[in-house]
Structure formats: structure tokens, C-alpha cells
Structure 1
């Protein structure tokens, strides 16, 4: 448990300091390549819906099994060689499950693009982190898209993997990341993936159900430590009212908390693959969305991650 707790803390610090350098290999990219390979092998458009659905389940099983077995094997071998070496490897694996620095870096690219190079640059930057069409977004739309991405991924990219790391170390953390990656790659409700990606999308909803709610509550709590500009009471009010204003049972949990904390209105109709998708708004819009909200959302995300890390460490210490 001491080894695990040490690796858990070091992994968190490494993520805050280093993030995800593109020059370094990353297991999530390898998982993505495995998903892509299996998709090409198992998904043919001429297959029946039933066969696509069955093959999608096969892909989910194979990806999770490969991720769990390889992660466990790496840890076992590492700790067999030497305890300190094992802690180092577990720390690196834990760090690679988290994405707070990467989320901050990528969303702030949108901020700097809009501020320094204008709307077209902002649209291009935000297109790298969202799935919606961005060509027709105005500055407010680009800003909202970046804020929504930070809010939603506070759960998916930071708090959920952190919770699973605390419970089951890198094996469970990597398994979660594999499920999340499958959903992001094949969980679309379009013609190609509707049947094939059903199991991946549903499993992602299941594994994120509790962490999404934990993330939202911790986000609300974090308002206490951030001072003016963040309303804990309004965050809780909007969370209670709007947390199901999304097709996903989980995505609006943190979006509603963030919208309430900042006093802005998020979500609403958006274009995907050339089609307008009607979505309800989240928040009251006590003021207009502005560029600085990207910074504010990131500050809220980082505070939430620190609060979660501290709570997890306290729980782990109590279990010693």
C-alpha cells in the first residue's frame, strides 16, 4: 500500500509538471492503434447490424483484456526486479493515466490563438479538442467549446482515472483509459459506428457514472478555495437543476457545475458532421461568456484535481 500511495502521489505530480510530451511514447496512443487495427479487421459496412454489434463486443473484450494483462505483467516484472524500480514504473504508469496538464495545455492553445491570431486560428485550435463542427463558430462559440471541453474532461481525463488509480493502481487506471479511448474512437451514433460502438459507449457510461458525480461535487467544493469569480452556491444550484441536460448521463454533471461556478451559459445547439443537433442549455448566463473563461475553467479544473488527490491520499493513509 505504501508503494502504491507513493506512486499515486508521484504520478500526479509528474502529470502536473510534464503533461504529455508528443516526443515521448504513450500507452494510450498504443491502445488507440490497437482499437484502430481491430476496427479495420472487425467492422465492414456490408455486415448486418447484429454482426457489427457482436464484433463491437469482441473488440471491447480484446482491448480491455490486452490492456489489463500487459499492465499487470509490467508491474509484476518491475517489482520482481526491485521494489524501487517497481515504484518508478508504477509512478510513470500512473502519470500516463492522468491528463490535467495536457487538458490545460490544449485548451490554452485555443485561448492564445483567439487572443493573438484571431477567430480563424481559434477555430482551428478548438477543432483539435472537440468533435463538433467549428467552421461557423464565432468567438463566443469557440470559447464555449473550449470551456465545455475542460469541464467535461475534468471528469474523463483527470478525476475518473485518478479514482480508478487510487482503487486499483495502474491496472485499473489503464483499463479505464482503454474504455474511455474506445468510446472516443468508436462510440459515435453515426452510420458507421452506431451498432459497432454500442458496447463501448455503454461501458463508458457505466464506468463514468460515479466518477462524473464525484467530479462535479469536488468542482463545487473547489470554488471555496478560488475566491471571487467562482460561486459555490450557484454551482450547486445549476448542478442540481441542469446535470441531466445532455444525451449522456455523465457529461452535463461537470459542465453544469462549471457553468454555475462561473455564472455562464454553456451547451445549446451544435453542429456535428454538418447536422445541427438540438441540445438544451446549461446554466443561467448571469453574464456573457468571455475569453478569460477558458483560464477560469482551467483554474477550476486544476483546483478540483488537487482536492481529489488530497482526499484520495487521506483515504489511502487511513487504509494503511
Structure 2
């Protein structure tokens, strides 16, 4: 019995080490622009495959389903074979490769850095620069936004992407290692490239958008729960985070994004959602949270603390489980 348990504990030990290294690399270095990134390759694969499928398959929905299977299947298979080859050469090379690939799945530092460009521009009074930087991280029109709307946009972005940029990748890395983590990133990239509800992608991107909803269902709710637990640890309200998450978590066009936004809105005692413009057209979204106070730099800083708090809690929880499994 003990001998049968050893491979499990060894695998958990290796996974824990890989995740710790990956998280530390992300926190220290973020996403260096000079470094080749698997997601760039996934994006190119999607673009190439989309063109090929559109030329060869007239049924857009069938072509979109095939795009999903090809992209996710090929990403997982290549990552798995790459890791297996690295471990076949050396356990040390395998672990280093796994840590590198896991690192590329995480985006906490990058999210902080990109959102801080918006915040810093606002704080020095350069609203044009703040609008420009915000346009890089949101889909809405930003050219006419005033400071309160810009703060709302950046807080919403941090809250939403805490789930699909930090917690969800960690969840899949813990569940199935770097190959599954990269498969999740493939799903996420598909949704960002073809998951639009417009004439070009409404049918072609249907499968990718729905699969992204499915892949994020558990991580989104885990993110909300982690935000609630993290709130008092970072000087915010757990009670309000829990109440607003339960009340307003469905006040979003996405079945998942509203959960983390609602938890953040409650913890920060602010109101998110409302009127946005997309390609010049107004879109009124349901509000999330109560307008207890204005959206300010402190709200942004609180959202960032929540993101890191949720990440640390998830990693700590995984390490506790791993340590219990190591114990005789």
C-alpha cells in the first residue's frame, strides 16, 4: 500500500514545486516581452486554422466546432509531448520546462502592470493617456470616458481577469499540470479571438464561447469565494463581498464574469456595471454592487490586493493539501 502511494506523493511534490516556481516567476518578472510566449503561438494557430476552415467548410458552426477541437487538442498534445520529452532527457530539465510552461499560463503581474499604467496616468492628470492605456485592456470605447468611468473600467478589468488570468489557470495547472493549463489558455484565447456576438463570429465562434463559459464555471465561483475569504486579510469587507456576490453575481452578460466582479464590488463598497459604449453604440448593463462611495484610486488598489490575496490563498490551500498527502 505504501509503495502504491509513493508515485502519487511524488507527483504532488513535483506539481507543488512547479506551481511555486511558476507563481514566483510571475510575481517577480510578469510576462517579459522578449520571451517567446505559447499564447502567441496559439493565437497564430487559431488565425491560420480559421482561414483554412472557412475556405473548406461552408457550415460556420461546424467549422467553429472543428476549430475548437483542433486548437485545444493540438495545444494539449504538443505541451504533453514536449514535457514528456524533457522529462525523458532529465528530471531536472522536465521540471524546469514544466515551471516555464506553467509560468506562461499566469498573468497576475502583467494584469497589475497593465492596469497600473491606467491608474498612474489618471493620478498625474493625463486623462488622454489613461484612456489610451485603458483601451488596451477593455473592449469598450474609451475615447470619451471621464475619470470615474476610467476607474470603473480598470477595477472591472482587474476583478474579472482575476478569474480567467490568475485563478482559472492555477486551477487547471493544479488539476492537470502545464499541458492542461495551456489547454485552458487555448480555450481562453479562442474566446477572445472568435467568441464575439457579431455577424462574422456569431455562428463560427459559438462553440468556443460556450466552451469558455463551461471551462470558467468552477474557477469563476472559486475566485468569488477566494475573494470573500481574502477580503478581511487585505483590509476589505468579507460580509459585503459575500452578500453582493450572492445578490448580483448574475448581473452580467457572461455567466461567470459577474461572480468575481460582484465579490470585488461588495468588498470595495462600490458599484460596477452600467452604461458602456461599443463601436459607438450605447449598451446599458445591469449594475453590480451598491454605490456606497466613489470609484477612486483606493478602489483600484483594493482590487489589486484582492487579486493577489485570492492567488495566495489558492496556492496556500494547494500546498496544505499536498503536505497532507506527503504525511505518512
User: Which of 5, 19, 30 lines up with 1:19 in the alignment?
Assistant: 30
Aligned position for 1:304: 310
Of 130, 139, 162, 1:122 maps to: 130
SS in 2 for 1:276: strand
Instruction: Show the counterpart of 1:147.
Output: 155
The CA deviation at 1:16 is: 0.7
Q: Which runs of 5 or more residues in structure 1 are unaligned? A: none
Partner of 1:102: 110
| CA drift at 1:132 | 0.8
C-alpha displacement of 1:224: 2.0
- Aligned equivalents of 1:29 and 1:307: distance in 2? 29
* 308-317 or 11-20, larger mean C-alpha shift: 308-317
Alpha-carbon offset, residue 277 of structure 1:
1.5
- How far the C-alpha of 1:72 sits from its partner, in A, is 0.4
Secondary structure in 2 aligned to 1:192?
A: coil
1 CA distance for matches of 2:256 and 2:325?
Answer: 29
Measure, in 2, the Cα distance between the counterparts of 1:316 and 1:193.
Answer: 42
The alignment status of 1:71 with 2:79, answered yes or no, reads: yes
Any runs of at least 4 consecutive aligned residues in structure 1 with deviations exceeding 6 A, and if so which?
Answer: none
Match of 2:260 in 1: 254
Matches within 5 A, 1:163-178: 163-178=171-186
**CA positional deviation for 1:117:** 4.8
CA distance in 2, matches of 1:291, 1:311: 30
1:108/1:295 contact within 8 Å kept: no
CA distance in structure 1 between the partners assigned to 2:52 and 2:125 by the alignment: 42
Alpha-carbon displacement from aligned partner over 1:39-68 (angstroms, at most 9, x marks no partner): 222336xx86xx111111111111011101
Give the Cα–Cα distance (whole angstroms) in 1 for the partners of residues 281 and 199 of structure 2.
13
232, 247, 257: which one aligns with 2:238: 232
Alignment-derived partner of residue 201 in structure 1? 209
1:28 and 2:39 correspond: yes
Q: TM-score, normalised by structure 2?
A: 0.93
110-119 or 256-265, which deviates more: 110-119
CA distance in 2, matches of 1:124, 1:299: 24
1:244 equivalent to 2:255? Answer: no
The whole-number CA distance in structure 1 between the counterparts of 2:234 and 2:228 is 11
CA-based RMSD of the aligned residues comes to 1.4
The runs of 5 or more residues in structure 2 that have no matched partner are 1-10
Distance in 2 (CA, whole Å) between partners of 1:166 and 1:142 is 35
Q: Secondary structure at the match of 1:22?
A: coil
